[in-house]
Structure 1
Amino acid sequence: MRNAVSAVLTALACLLLPCGALAVWASHGLADTGRYVGTMAPLAGDPDVRDAVADAVGDGVVRELGAEGSPALGSFLREAVRSFTHTEAYRTAWEAGNRAVHDAVLHAVRDDRAAPGPVTVDLAPVAAEVKARLVADRVPFARNIPVEHREVAVVPARDVPGLRKGYQVLDTAALWLPLSAVALAVAGVAVAKCRRRALTATGLGTALGGALLGVAVVVGRHLTLADLPERIHRPAAGAVYDALTAGLRTASWLLVALGAGTALLSWLAGHRHRLPGRRRAQASDGTAPAPPAPPPRARV
């Protein structure tokens, strides 16, 4: 009965560990604005991301100016936008835009009293930072760039309640899942009749859970990119996915290393303690080793 209870507790602990790592990553990794902006900042120099931004912004500028019927003007505008993505002003706009979007989404999912509706972002602060960068770089006519307040929807209104509920669940799970996993693991080892075997099983289960978490990250990347429409640049989306899940991959490797190391140390400790028992068993079977030679007699 003790072994059965220990097996159940150990299995539950090994299942909760990767789930807890996922909840902690989502709640404290993605929900921290500074960490999120720092993760996304290097992507401003990624060629795939630059091409995706240039195509999206270039198409938007062409539509705004009504230049769809003029291929020459459309090509000129797209090339101008593409060259802009290689400047410091673009990096400033990239970081300011990511910060503004993250702040808006985080405020919407954390504040239950927020007015129902889509999550919107005001582009005026982003435009002001870009304008200041261009003025500092002495770009002609940069001072004449208008800074207008324009609200852009980043999350539809129908998706806000689901995001808010999911964030609340993850925020609670990030605290209780790791604590529950550790408590169950300790209880499983304490209840077991052979604690060394229970510790070895816990280590192996932890390593298996970490490996499954790494597999889930890879499968999630494939499914995420497969669901994207063809017009969206999948290499750029893959670069963003890899940047955001870097901490999750690190957590999976840490679980694998911690579990495998614990299981190995426990097995080595048990193997070492079994060696004297084998010698005693050989002695009881009549195959004891030869007695030591008597000390030599002293000559007078």
Structure 2
Amino acid sequence: MNVPVDDEIAALRAENERLRAALDETLAGRHDQGRRGFGWVIPSAALIVIGAILAPVVVVTTWASRETSSTAAFVETFSPLARDPAVQSFITAKTNDVVDEHLDVRQLTGTVFDGLRQLDLPPRAASALTALEAPASTGVENLVHQTVQRFVASDAFTTLWDGALRTGHAQLVRSLTGDQRAAVAIAADGSIGIQLGPIVAEVKQRLIDQGLGFASRIPVVDRTVVIATSDAAVRAETAYALVQVTAAWLPWLAVACIGIGVVMARRRARALSLAGIGVAIAMAVTMLGLAFGRVVTVRALAPDLMPRNAARVIYDTVVAFVLSASVAITVLALAVAVTAWFAGSSRPAVRLRAGWGRLTAGARRAAEVRGVTTGRVGVELDRFRVPLLVLVAVVAAAVIALHRPLSPGLIVWTLVSSLVAVGIVDLLARPASTDGRPGQASRDGDDGVSPDRDDQLATNRG
């Protein structure tokens, strides 16, 4: 049933008064902001810049604290190295060098053949024996090397590697705290090494099990293979305690700097958008730094300490968390910048919000014409629209803040889900008529208020 013209005019007048009061309040707020003057701009910008600069520091300190305080995280980081072909080849070569150094196969086979020659063999047999000496020696060497290679490529080596990592994690912490008895040693020149002893001991046992009793001559090996070298390794001992202290509160300090800077800004939405862009730029610089560090590290390690492919794999494994976190924070920062721009007062943002308001209002009217309406539920949704949107934002922020490790996919899907939830609330929320009851749809599409007024309401809500 159509609403009388007088009632509709009265409703429009009431709405105009409400809109005029809201406009006066907005203008008064802008006037108060203008009275702040540019004295607020400098500290606001300074705090936002400090927060953006702290973002990469937060990622690095979080990574360092994670690697040194969590054995599970440490094993998760370095365990894949045991299955990488480049690292396996490097470990195999170093283990073979140690075995060959302590086990002279050619001398052992030569001793055996010299004993056979003393048996007064016929000339042809002695000649054949001499011809077989070199192939026999080479065959034994190949057998030893193949045993090493098969072991390093086996699941048993992966298990040994993971066990060594778990045991070595405590040793690494002892190294960082300056304990000279640590198995993972940081030398004065910045070199970092791991023990070959357990690997050689396992290979020795396997050779003995295959009937090569002379392998028992391999002594207990106490040798460290350098896997990295950097001046930063020495400074890491000093930085360890600082990292443990700052990793807990530094993220909150960065967020507080950005938050206070945005609150102090004259145009908060614009300030938040610029803060997001600033953080994204800082993280992009961090990723460029990681790429540059990869080149420098590979040049420092290869070819003197290890092959280039092994050096690249080790570096990529070590910085994987920092790189993934940098990408994720970049995506999050850009998403915040876009969201803040959409909520701002720029003309394109206002037009976009108005267009979205008209779209949802038109869809709602079209549904009500066909008898599909949310009724009283829609009115309650419209009544509590702001708290619902705040709840969506809080849930999205909690998911991103509490999930570890942070990934770009998680951020994208969380933001998409949040936008879908906001869209559903906008679509289902149904403005009440001036008498507090849901507007009744009629055949001409009137829901108790004029279409222009509904569009205006939707635009204002945006």
TM-score normalized by structure 2? 0.50
Cα distance per residue 1:198-231 (max 9 Å; x no partner) = 1111110111112112112211111110111414
Whole-Å Cα distance in 2 between the matches of residues 58 and 163 of structure 1?
32
Unaligned regions of 5+ residues in structure 2, if any? 1-38, 108-133, 186-193, 353-449, 451-462
Q: Identify the residue that residue 313 of structure 2 maps to in structure 1.
A: 239
Whole-Å Cα distance in 1 between the matches of residues 42 and 313 of structure 2?
45
Aligned AA (2:334)? A
Change (3 A) 1:67 1:162: farther
Say yes or no: does 1:202 pair with 2:269: no
Q: Identify the residue that residue 286 of structure 1 maps to in structure 2.
A: none
User: 1:48, 1:236 within 8 Å by CA — same for their partners in 2?
Assistant: yes
Aligned CA RMSD, in angstroms, stands at 3.9
Q: Identify the residue that residue 149 of structure 2 maps to in structure 1.
A: 82
Whole-Å Cα distance in 2 between the matches of residues 27 and 264 of structure 1?
32
**Which one is further off, 183-192 or 86-95?**
86-95
Give the SS at the match of 1:193: coil
Larger radius of gyration: 2
- 1:175 positional shift: 2.2
Change (3 A) 1:150 1:83: closer
Aligned AA (1:83)? R
Say yes or no: does 1:178 pair with 2:251: yes
Q: Identify the residue that residue 46 of structure 1 maps to in structure 2.
A: 84
User: Of the two structures, which has the highest relative contact order with CA contacts closer than 8 Å and spacing of 6 or more?
Assistant: 1
Whole-Å Cα distance in 2 between the matches of residues 115 and 228 of structure 1?
24
Change (3 A) 1:241 1:8: same
- 1:98 positional shift: 2.7
Whole-Å Cα distance in 1 between the matches of residues 155 and 350 of structure 2?
66
Q: Identify the residue that residue 269 of structure 1 maps to in structure 2.
A: 343
Which residues in structure 2 correspond to 1:15-164 (within 5 Å)? 15-67=53-105, 72=138, 74-110=141-177, 114=179, 126=198, 152=223, 162-164=235-237
Give the SS at the match of 2:301: coil
Aligned AA (2:150)? S
Say yes or no: does 1:227 pair with 2:312: no
Q: What fraction of aligned residue pairs are identical, expressed as a percent? A: 25
- 1:174 positional shift: 1.5
- 1:176 positional shift: 3.1
Cα distance per residue 1:33-73 (max 9 Å; x no partner) = 22222232222221111111110100111011245889835
Whole-Å Cα distance in 2 between the matches of residues 265 and 234 of structure 1?
44
**Which one is further off, 97-106 or 13-22?**
97-106
TM-score normalized by structure 1? 0.75
- 1:193 positional shift: 1.1
Whole-Å Cα distance in 2 between the matches of residues 43 and 34 of structure 1?
15
Change (3 A) 1:238 1:165: same
Q: Identify the residue that residue 165 of structure 1 maps to in structure 2.
A: 238
Q: How many residues align?
A: 270
Give the SS at the match of 1:227: helix
**Which one is further off, 90-99 or 21-30?**
90-99
Change (3 A) 1:74 1:8: same
